[in-house]
Amino acid sequence: MKKGKKYVEASKLVERGKAYSALEALTLACKTSVTKFDASVDVAFRLNLDPRKAEQNIRGAIVLPNGTGKEQRVVVIAKGAKAQEATEAGADVVGDQELLDKISKGWLEFDVMVATPDMMGQLGKLGKLLGPKGLMPNPKTGTVTMDVAKAVKELKAGKVTYRPDKVGNIHMTIGKVSFGPEKLLENFKVVYDVMQKARPSTIKGSYVKNIAVASTMGPGIKIDPNNI
C-alpha cells in the first residue's frame, strides 16, 4: 500500500531499527502526527503470552491520570436505586430489560457497558452479540459491579481496559497528540507498570518483547523497555 507524502516525510524523523527512551518516542509520536485532527496516541505491547492458557489471558482496567482525551459513551444495565445512581453519576443511557431488548435488535451506540451482578443473567443472552465486539461487562475490568456510580465516573475520567489478542499483543490509547509528551509519558508509565504487575508467574524468560507507540496514521516508534 502506497504511503502519503506526509507519512513519508514524518517517517524520516524516525531512525529505523532504533529503540528510543519513552519520552523520546512520545515526543516523536507527537511530531510525526500527520492528521489535521487531534490524533490519538496508541501504545502496543508485544508480550510473551499464550492467551489460550487461562492464566496467561491477562485482562483488567486502568485509570489513566490524564484520561484518554476521548469521551466514552457509557451504558448501564441496572434497576431501581442502582439505575438512579448511574444516571446521577453521568451514564449516557441507563435501563434494564427494555434497554436489553433494544440492544438485542442491533442498537450498539455506546463504547462501554456496566451492569449490576443481578442483571448478568438476562445480559448473558446477548453474549454472542456483545462478546466479539468487546462490549460484554466483566468483573475483571470493573464493569460488573454494585458500585455503578464509581464505575461510571472512572470510565468518564479515562479508564481503559486491556486484554491480549490471539498472539499476545495488547493495544490501547494513552491520550491525544495535544496532551504533549509529558502528559503522555505519565499515562504511559502507569500502563507500563500495570503490564509488569500483570505478568503471569508461569512466564519464563523475557516477558516484554517489544513496545511501540504511534499517533493515528503516523509511523510506529519503538520504545526501549530498559529506558522507560
User: For residue 113, what is its C-alpha cell?
Assistant: 457497558
pLDDT of residue 158: 83
Contacts of 63 (CB under 8 A, 6+ apart): 154, 157, 158, 159
Find the distance separating the first CA and the last CA of the chain, reported in whole Å. Answer: 33
Question: Looking at the predicted structure, is the pLDDT value of residue 35 above 70?
Answer: yes
Tell the burial category of 15 from Cβ atoms under 10 Å away from its Cβ (0-12, 13-18, 19+): exposed
Q: Which of 7-11, 109-113, 117-121, 197-201 is the least confident region? A: 7-11
What pLDDT, in 10s, does the model give residues 128-176?
999 988 899 999 889 999 999 999 999 998 888 898 998 999 999 999 9
Mean pLDDT, to the nearest integer, of 101-112?
Answer: 94
**Mean pLDDT, the chain, as a whole number?**
92
What pLDDT, in 10s, does the model give residues 50-103?
888 988 989 888 989 999 998 889 999 999 999 999 999 999 999 999 999 999
Task: Count CA within 13 A, CB hemisphere, residue 48.
Answer: 12
For the whole model, what pTM was predicted? 0.79
pLDDT of residue 39: 93
pLDDT of residue 2: 57
